[in-house]
């Protein structure tokens, strides 16, 4: 646009100069040369005038632009100054906050350091304690024992070592119930005879869902049948069976029959399950547990329907060998239930890590008003706490409808007790053929070995093969060494 205007101005100046020359030539009589010189002089003057006016205008515009730029630069400098002041203020605030944070964290850091020192001291104390237990076990292995007629001592575990260390005198068992007034030796002989002659009957009690009362599981227990046909309840004979070392044999009988019952139940209902009790002595028995482990390996398809029950007192006294045995069963997919709960001081995370998926607590303990004072959590929150770690709570020994209503308020969804059904014996057709022969071979005796029969129970074939080897007697030291070897093999396999 400016270029076009300059062209128009130039054309106009040329026309004015030409007009001036023409006027001088035609009007005033100037010669052609003189008129042309005057015309050129006029054109030059006009050009100089136009250049001067244009430059003055450009200078004025440039001055305005410079003034605007100066004002913008001043504003920018003022804003930069304000930002700088704000940054300085912010840095001061951050420094003050950092100082307060360091002042608040410093006490916690000191406490953490102190806790670390305490943990080191606890670790050293635990290591010394374990060394003392190991030394005590070694010294017990060298104790002189009675001749072959003496009772074989059980394998030392964390339970026996803790009892020895506490030096608490063992309370003699007093016969009660049906066994009241009978000598202890006769009671042990009665129990041993019932086991050897397969007079061990299996009873089932349903575990139902609440409030629907639909049977979800069965709890299996054994009752010994006397020569008169009466039944001995577990609370009558278990204490004597433990002291006599008969629990591994009885667990063998119970486990084999539970597997048979589970197979029969699964043909009718794939969602049913069975709880089978197992003792701590069985977990460390170097003779029976490998047989049980092999048997469960062969029946690992039943892992979702068979649950092993262990008493709370047994779990609390477990040592490395018991934990390794539990880990071996857990690796096969079997789950565990904590039974015989006497208080609610339970670590659900630790139980879940070991494979426990159920906790069975008496209804009286859950509904007791003294429960919160004797536990770390209120019973009303106990089911929710267990549920966070995938553990179901089972209320045991329910005998009234009022207890069911109160337990539902505590979010208990599984129950067991005489209110729903008392323990009932398993039908004979389910265990057909088991009563004709003992579940496991009797302990080694001086009598000649009987002729072998077809294996029917856990590890019976292995035991029969061992009985056929003449002159082999397992001493307590051999059993202890076998248990330690089993632990080492389990650790190596899991590593």
- Residue-wise pLDDT for 158-202, tens only, equals 444 444 333 334 444 555 556 766 778 888 888 888 888 888 889
Give residue 491's pLDDT: 52
Q: Is 334 exposed, middle or buried (0-12, 13-18, 19+ CB in 10 A)?
A: buried
**Predicted pLDDT at 412:** 94
Does residue 144 have a cis peptide bond before it, meaning omega lies within 30 degrees of 0? no
CATH 3.20.20.450 fits 158-340+422-444+451-494, yes or no: yes
Pairwise CA distance, residues 199 & 381, whole Å = 43
Q: What is the pLDDT of residue 148?
A: 35
Task: Give every residue of the chain whose pLDDT is below 70, as ranges.
Answer: 1-2, 137-178, 180-181, 369-376, 428-495
Tell me the CA distances in angstroms from 125 to 85, 136, 162, 167, 392, one per residue in order.
Answer: 60, 16, 16, 20, 36
pTM over 0.75: no
Helical pair 476-494 and 32-141, crossing angle rounded to 10 deg: 170
End-to-end CA distance of the chain: 90
C-alpha span between 277 and 295 (Å, rounded): 16
By the 8 A CB rule, do 459 and 439 touch?
Answer: no
Main-chain dihedrals φ then ψ at residue 208, nearest 5 degrees: -110, 160
pLDDT of residue 158: 41
Residues 306/272, Cβ–Cβ less than 8 Å: no
Nearest C-alpha neighbor of 322 from the set 360, 292, 282: 282
d(CA 190, CA 241): 10
What pLDDT score does 338 carry?
96
Residue 217 CA to residue 215 CA, distance in Å, equals 6
**What pLDDT is attached to residue 460?**
54
Ramachandran sector of residue 478 (left: φ over 0; alpha: ψ -120 to 50; beta: rest): alpha
33, two tokens: 């040369």
Q: In residues, how long is the chain?
A: 495
């Amino acid at each position: 646009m400016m270029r076009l205007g300059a062209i128009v101005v130039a054309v106009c100046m040329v026309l004015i100069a030409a007009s001036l020359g023409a006027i001088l030539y035609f009007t005033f009589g100037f010669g052609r040369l003189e008129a042309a010189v005057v015309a050129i002089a006029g054109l030059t003057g006009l050009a100089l005038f136009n250049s001067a006016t244009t430059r003055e205008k450009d200078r004025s515009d440039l001055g305005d632009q410079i003034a605007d730029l100066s004002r913008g630069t001043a504003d920018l400098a003022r804003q930069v100054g304000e930002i700088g002041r704000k940054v300085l203020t912010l840095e001061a605030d951050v420094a003050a906050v950092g100082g307060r944070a360091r002042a608040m964290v410093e006490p916690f850091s000191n406490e953490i350091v102190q806790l670390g020192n305490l943990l080191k001291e606890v670790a050293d104390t635990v290591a010394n304690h374990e060394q003392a237990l190991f030394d005590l076990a070694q010294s017990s292995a060298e104790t002189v024992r009675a001749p072959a007629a003496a009772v074989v001592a059980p394998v030392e575990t964390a339970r026996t070592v803790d009892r020895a260390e506490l030096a608490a005198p063992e309370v003699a068992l007093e016969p009660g119930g049906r066994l009241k007034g009978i000598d202890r030796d006769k009671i042990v002989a009665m129990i041993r005879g019932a086991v050897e002659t397969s007079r061990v009957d299996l009873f089932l009690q349903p575990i139902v869902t609440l409030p629907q009362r639909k049977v979800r599981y069965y709890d299996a227990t054994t009752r010994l049948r006397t020569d008169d046909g009466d039944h001995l309840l577990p609370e009558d004979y278990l204490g004597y069976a433990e002291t006599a070392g008969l629990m591994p044999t009885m667990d063998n009988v119970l486990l084999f029959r539970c597997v048979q019952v589970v197979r029969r139940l699964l043909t009718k209902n794939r969602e049913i399950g069975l709880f089978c009790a197992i003792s701590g002595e069985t977990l460390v028995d170097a003779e029976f547990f490998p047989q049980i482990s092999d048997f469960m390996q062969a029946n690992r398809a039943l892992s979702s329907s068979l649950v092993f029950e262990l008493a709370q007192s047994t779990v609390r006294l477990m040592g490395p060998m018991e934990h390794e045995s539990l880990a071996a069963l857990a690796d096969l997919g079997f789950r565990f239930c904590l039974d015989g709960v006497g208080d609610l001081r339970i670590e659900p995370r630790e139980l879940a890590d070991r494979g426990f998926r159920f906790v069975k607590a008496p209804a009286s303990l859950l509904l007791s008003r003294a429960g919160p004072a004797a536990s770390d959590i209120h019973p009303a929150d106990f089911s929710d706490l267990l549920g966070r770690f995938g553990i179901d709570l089972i209320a045991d020994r329910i005998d009234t409808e009022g207890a069911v209503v109160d337990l539902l308020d505590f979010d208990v969804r599984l129950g067991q007790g005489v209110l729903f059904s008392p323990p009932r014996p398993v039908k004979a057709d389910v265990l057909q053929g088991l009563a004709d022969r003992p579940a496991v071979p009797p302990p080694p005796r001086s009598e000649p070995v009987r002729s072998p029969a077809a294996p029917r129970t856990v590890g019976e074939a292995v035991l029969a093969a061992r009985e056929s080897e003449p002159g082999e007697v397992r001493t307590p030291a051999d059993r202890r060494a076998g248990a330690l070897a089993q632990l080492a093999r389990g650790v190596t396999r899991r590593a």
